[in-house]
Amino acid sequence: QEQLTESGGGSVQAGGSLRLSCVASTYTHDMYFMSWFRQTPGKEREGVAGIWTRSRDTRYSDSVKGRFTISRDDADNSLLLQMDSLTPEDTGMYYCATRSTFSHAADWDQADKYQLWGQGTQVTVSS
């Protein structure tokens, strides 16, 4: 059974950096697009960054553009998120997710379009 496992979360001061990793137990052609989402209590999951696994084209939310970088390492089926210049507003539980189909690039950050999710890794940024 396919599984996603995130790691790399932790506590950091504002201005610091973290690198998140998401490893897939197995890579399948269904993992057409992969993304990172984050969620804080009482709020919906927010799409942070996404990547087409073949073309490597990327998408970012406006709140992280220029600070976060999403990438994929085929060697170990991992999805990476380099997070720099962190602010307290970046605090939350970060999840990786995959989806197998795409009709409109604009809906890359729609959580209900994703079929497989990891369990999440907590990121806490203090001021």
Model confidence pLDDT, tens digit, residues 33-92: 999 999 998 999 999 999 998 889 999 999 999 999 999 988 888 999 999 999 999 999
pLDDT at position 117: 96
Q: How far is CA 87 from CA 5, 123, 127, in A?
A: 24, 11, 7
Report the pLDDT averaged over residues 22-39: 87
Query: How many helices and strands (H and E) does the chain possess?
Result: 0, 11
- Cα separation, 122 vs 6, whole angstroms: 10
pLDDT at position 104: 79
Work out whether strand 33-39 and strand 92-99 pair parallel, antiparallel, or are unpaired.
Answer: antiparallel
pLDDT at position 106: 84
